[in-house]
Amino acid sequence: MDSVAQLTPETQQRVQELRRLLQQASYDYYVLDAPTIEDSVYDQLYRELQTIEANYPELITPDSPTQRVGERPASHFTSVKHNIPLYSLENAFGNADLATWEQRWRKVAPDVTEFEYVCELKIDGNALALTYENGVLVRGATRGDGTTGEEITQNVRAIRSVPLRLNLDNPPPVVEVRGEAFLSLDSFEQINRDREKAGESLFANPRNAAAGTLRQLDAKIVAQRRLDFFAYTLHVPGELESQWQALELLREMGFRVNPEREKCADLQAVQDYCDRWSVDRTQLRYMTDGVVIKLNSFALQTRLGFTQKFPRWAIALKYPAEEAPTILENISVNVGRTGAITPVAELKPVQLAGTTVSRATLHNRDRIAELDCRIGDTVIVRKAGEIIPEVVRVLTELRPENARLFEMPTHCPECHEPVVKPENEAVTRCINASCPAILRGALTHWASRDALDINGVGEKLVAQLVDQNLVNSVAGLYDLTIENLLTLERMGKKSAEKIVKAIQDSKSQPWSRVLYGLGIRHVGSVNAQTLTQAFPSVEELAAATPEQISAVPGFGSEIAQSVSQWFQNHGNQELIDRLRQAEIQLKGEVVPVAQVETAISGKTFVITGTLPTLKRDEAQALIQKAGGKVTDSVSKKTDYLVAGEKAGSKLEKAQTLGVSILSEADLVQLIQG
């Protein structure tokens, strides 16, 4: 067919009309939730457009409704630098924090007497940055670390509430839009139903499901999962004067803007809004975990500027972790790698913060007594740090007559040896070094990413190695042969060869990782690196007195005693000898410290979460080379917290103490000056 010869002005006009009708219909349906045409009519118009574009490919444009989902899956995602950084917000946890925040910004602008706030619900999803050129979507990217994200344009195009073309007659050359991609609760539940039928693992919560969806290489899967999008930030040349104006313009451009936004004349109105939505948010069809409060005036925002990490003109009020009542059906115990025996509540499954919870920690015997907790009780469960479920109180008024007291076991449920409870500790422990549970934990920890990083040696393999008595200590891993591994279930020769090679390759891991892998109490990966700087060989550390260890910056007497006692133990001395025979690295080099004064000389850092490109030990080495110090815990003496993805309680504590928060990019910039 000679499509060029047959193309007529009438056909071109019809294409434009079809696109206009379909774009308006999508806007009405996905943004306004007010459908204006029947699905059958939409399908008929869509098929007509598809047919014309098939006959005249030269008419296809990126903003055509037929081009939302690409035909070919992406092969990978690439990193992109944001044109404008996506800043984090300072967190508030109550009205007192909001009042303190207002006092702080008013000190910067004491002459300001007239102002107003804009309150928007904080959507529990994934931040996106969208770029439009001449009104057409050209790039969609994840937040990443705020400076660099992943380019996922193909997947963003599959989100129906993201316009492919802005609804503007004369769009600016470049428009930057920020917002939150999320899954409605209905969509989330449907996805998990489908995955359950297919025998696939379920998503933990809507936010995780949305994140996993955005990283799909096939945009068709993204389209099937029905992601949604709320826009909340607009960067556009022009005369915009306020956040409220920006939200209204976003809506006119064709974006969904959260309808529950509100202008507030003063802080009392803000607090009333936050208090109201702390209750009403349970009726929403999507997850929200707080409220974002911004000063409305852009001129005032510009005047206030930023701290090293946060804008001074905005803050996020975080709601307390969600709580829910359920029945305590039983109490079991778990034996950890240190021998700690932890009671675990077995619960009647309950929905909590977007996940189904059936188990929760009870911490220790003293905590059970404090709660007056009995099997059969109705209990209140909360997610500590929105991650770990825990029982926080018991509704004793609902206690049934047959409720049973729980008693901690006198013998370890794994090895059946007697357990002990040291006088100065709340934890009951198994002290049998040969306990299978302790050995499994020690082996799994030794092979973990931050320790020896042995690919293929995970919990399932470790369980088989222990059950078949193939390994009796971490040193025993280095005696394993391919023939040993072939005796295990579902183990092929190629897999066995890879595992043996990974174990042997781990011999080159540095002394700091080895020390962390030993699993000494209170010695995390950061403390291990600090200790190996102070004691560059295992012989020097083993000979150190508690006083010498506690003299290391960031170390107290408790850690010092723990390290010293570990090396005095005869069994541990034998383990070190076996590791030495296996040629494990038990000696390292001192990281040279900057000889000249730098921006971070003498400053104390804590690192938390997963950084975008640097491993934690690499970040620590950078800090130490520049003259800084790294410790494991946040305190008033901490100067900076370097926070990556999934930063938890350390981030919250740092924000409470007013510690400066850095991203990886901030850290590198600070070091480089």
421 assigned to active site: no
Q: Is 200 annotated as a binding residue?
A: no
Half-sphere exposure of 48 (CA within 13 A, CB side): 16
Cα–Cα distance measured from residue 361 to residue 363, given in angstroms and rounded to the nearest whole number: 5
Consult the annotation and say whether 143 binds a ligand.
yes
Q: Are 285 and 190 in contact (CB under 8 A)?
A: no
Is 87 annotated for ligand binding?
Answer: no
By DSSP bridging, strand 91-92 and strand 314-318 are: parallel
* Number of other CB atoms surrounding residue 443 within 10 Å: 28
First to last CA, the chain: 64
Name the 3-class secondary structure at 428: strand
How far apart CA 550 and CA 554 sit, in angstroms, is 8
Residue 383 marked ligand-binding: no
Calpha distance 643→10 (Å, rounded): 58
User: 41 a known binding residue?
Assistant: yes
The verdict on whether residue 637 carries a ligand-binding annotation is no
| Residue 180 labelled as part of a binding site | yes
Q: What is the DSSP string of 478-544?
A: GG--HHHHTTSTT--HHHHHHHHHHHHHGGGS-HHHHHHHTT-TT--HHHHHHHHHHS-BHHHHHH-
**d(Cα 571, Cα 626) in Å, to the nearest integer?**
39
- Written as six digits, the tokens of 267 are 């802080």
Contacts of 328 (CB under 8 A, 6+ apart): 345, 346, 347, 373, 374, 375, 376, 377, 378, 379, 391
Angle between helices 185-197 and 206-214 (to 10 degrees): 70
DSSP class of 637: T
Say whether 521 counts as a known binding-site residue.
no
Catalytic residue, chosen from 81, 107, 122, 220, is 122
* Strands of 210-297, DSSP E: 228-235, 262-264, 288-295
DSSP letter, residue 160? T
The answer to whether 184 is annotated as binding is no
The conformation of residue 430, written as its DSSP 8-state character, comes to E
Q: State the Cα–Cα distance between residues 295 and 315, nearest whole angstrom.
A: 9
Determine whether the annotation assigns residue 373 to a binding site: no
Residue set of the binding site for Zn(2+): 412, 415, 430, 435
Residue set of the binding site for NAD(+): 39-43, 88-89, 120, 143, 180, 294, 318
The residues annotated as belonging to the active site are: 122
Residue set of the binding site: 39-43, 88-89, 120, 143, 180, 294, 318, 412, 415, 430, 435
